[in-house]
Amino acid sequence: MCIDTPTIKLLRVSVLVAFSGVCKLHIAFLFLGIEPRITIYLAAFLVIYATYTLDRATGGKEDKINKKEFISARKNIALVFCLVTLAAGSWLFLQENLLIISFLPFIIGYVYSKGINIGRISLKLKGNFGMKNLTVALTWSSIISAIILRWVSIPIVLLFVFPFFAIKSFINTVIYDFRDIKGDSAAGIKTLPIFLGERRTRSLLQSMHITLHLWIATAMFLGFVRPQVTVLMTLGLTGLIYTRYYTRASRENESKCRRIMRDVIVDGEFIMAVILDVIIDAIIDAIISF
């Protein structure tokens, strides 16, 4: 069985997002001084990959414009990958007594993408104003918070962990709404950039970003979360960059370099933060030991 290039693209496109999700979880562990758990990290990677691949494999009519490269992909192969990775991730979560967490994002992802019909009642999140942004933000912040609750109290999670990852995820999804303005407009989907306009949406995202990072910096100063200066500064800088330079509708002839840079800085900001944190810690340890 030959897998064509569009199918390979569809299967690999969610890898960066899944790895970024693992780095988000790791940063939450760093903030709260929890020892890294490789099993949980791998389980999170597999479940996130399954969820995002499902969404891309079952895209709506706006995706025929926004994601033309996936039109000819073999969606049945992608769906098999989703089931396999979900099963593997669920089994790993089961080893940590966290099985219920593995199904939450997948179920929400399915309801978001395809919807469910019960008699005359039809529930579908995709296409409704702001639902994509809220769904992504609340899903991943809830999962990270639920995992973290094994080690810390509810007030700490609700005050710092949940809002940090909810707002960061919300901002990131809106950045991609700017990229997809053409397709969303054609499909009649009123995203924030379409509803509020580019300028007001940009100002909103920048205000949210700055306020959030000031809040976490204050929490670090007061000792509620562990000081992770490298992580906070990296995320703060990348956020300022993409809320400034990627909050405009993408041009028809947008360069490949610009598209790659957006993916790297938006989906990869948590990855960069973790890598820089490891490098700087290693340098500091080397200087101390010398």
pLDDT digits 0-9 by tens, 152-178: 888 899 999 999 999 999 999 899 888
pLDDT at residue number 4: 52
Average pLDDT taken over every residue of the chain: 82
pLDDT of 66 > 60? The answer is: no
Exposed e or buried b per residue across 168-188, where buried means at least 16 C-beta atoms within 10 angstroms of its C-beta = bbbbbbbbbbbbbbebbbebe
pLDDT digits 0-9 by tens, 202-227: 999 999 999 999 999 999 999 999 99
How large is the average pLDDT for residues 2-12?
66
R_g (Cα) of the chain, nearest Å:
19
Q: Residues 108-111: contacts with CB within 8 Å, 24+ apart? A: 108/51, 108/135, 108/139, 109/51, 109/52, 109/54, 109/55, 109/139, 110/54
How many CB atoms within 10 Å of residue 98? 19
User: Minimal CA–CA distance to 65: which of 181, 147, 170?
Assistant: 181
pLDDT at residue number 109: 63
pLDDT at residue number 1: 46
Banded pLDDT at 11 (limits 50, 70, 90): confident
Residue 3 Ramachandran class (φ > 0 left, ψ -120 to 50 alpha, else beta): beta
pLDDT at residue number 184: 72
Percentage of the residues of the chain whose pLDDT score is greater than 90: 35
Distance between CA atoms of 57 and 181, rounded to whole angstroms?
Answer: 20
109 compared with 102, residue with greater pLDDT: 102
Distance between CA atoms of 44 and 106, rounded to whole angstroms?
Answer: 12
pLDDT of 127 > 70? The answer is: no
Query: What is the DSSP-derived secondary structure letter of residue 251?
Result: P
Name the range with the highest mean pLDDT among 44-48, 92-96, 107-111, 233-237.
233-237
60 compared with 262, residue with greater pLDDT: 262
Distance between CA atoms of 164 and 142, rounded to whole angstroms?
Answer: 11
How large is the average pLDDT for residues 120-140?
70
pLDDT of 62 > 50? The answer is: no
Contact between residue 91 and residue 70 where contact means Cβ atoms under 8 Å apart = no
Banded pLDDT at 59 (limits 50, 70, 90): low
How large is the average pLDDT for residues 252-271?
83
pLDDT at residue number 50: 86
